[in-house]
Structure 1
Amino acid sequence: MSGKPKLHYFNGRGRMEPIRWLLAAAGVEFDECFIEKKEDLTKLQNDGSLLFQQVPMVEIDGMKLVQTRAIMNYIATKYNLCGKDLKERALYCNKFVEGLFDLNELLLMHVLQPADQKEQHFANMMDKAENRHFPVFEKVLKDHGKDFLVGNQLSRADVQLLEVILMAEEYKPDILAKFPLLQSFKARMSAIPNIKKFLQPGSQRKPLADKNAVAKVMKIFY
């Protein structure tokens, strides 16, 4: 296969959204093939496209890649978004990214919580963001003294941190009040041309899911 990467997922954030962010930050245009009904998913499963019978799946460079982290590792390596050498990748970039995946999962799953558990989940989610994850990255920026988290160039860690910050702000707009360096980081990253473009209305960035979107996804996957 040649041409643009093709992303197979439902028309929403989910586990494909960090992949969309990473491609956008790399300046890579991509097409999307939305799974609209259960039959669309079944077709991909039956034709052997999904190694573990689940999406996201990305067609890129003649491959059908599955598993979010595997897809992102490939994209980050291909477009030089994982540090300048093995040490930066291991000590900084990958470590930061894994921590961000933990917080991203909490934010992602909030819309799926039963009504009687949403309040507790929200409190836990905000506590982890404000008292565990964001203090780490505030300190990293202070100690590093650079514009970026890894070395002095854009990496996938920067992209994913910005995505998580913006997601957290959707739930609590003043969540960065105690983190001045993260406020500055957010402004810098948002001004990078490829990222700025992705943040504009009409881009392929997906909105926060509402009840109707969640109900539609549940019908496809459950």
Structure 2
Amino acid sequence: EERTERESRTAKNMHSGEKPYSCKTCGKAFKRRSRMKDHYRTHTGEKPHSCKTCGKSFTQRSALTVHMRIHTGERPYPCKTCGKMFTYSSILLAHIRTHTVKKLETCDVCGKAFKRRSRMKDHYRTHTGEKPHSCKTCGKSFTQRSALTVHMRIHTGERPYPCKTCGKMFTYSSILLAHIRTHTGEKPYHCKICGKVFTYSSHLWRHMKSHPGEKT
């Protein structure tokens, strides 16, 4: 009777979205008591589910079930296109892409393949030098229409990339990303000689001049 009542509460939680079971260590909440207990073991290190074949232990029974496929050879995930069987769903998903990703258009010059003819034509112009997309304001020409669209922001003043932290607007996404580092403090560019780190690549390049005899 107690189990029936518990199952009833679990079903109610699943529909309502309520998460009444909390981890005493980190406070993370769960809809089911069993999920909370599985999670709690990540703190205690307890691994009660052991493989009878090799002795390897797991926190969750589901992880043991997946592990057992190594020994049994079970492959429960079939590809609906070619029928090939897989041990893990993640490997099946990767395999499915070999059927769905089609590269139909090939560049006659270098052999590079593309899904869309329009992409291939844009690429082909890098070989021919053709630049059919011209700016009506300054006359500068571009291989791709998208490059012209970005260029036009110089004339229109459009700044479509806002910083979510301070609201400042930017013309290019690359400049926004560089700006965000002023808030996060990230410094991804480091000097291989002295280890000093920098927010911008230009600052690293300027710093490298302080090391005489080294290539910049």
When normalised by structure 1's length, the TM-score is: 0.18
Return the structure number with greater relative CO, CA threshold 8 A, min gap 6.
1
More strand per residue: 2
| Structure that is richer in helix per residue | 1
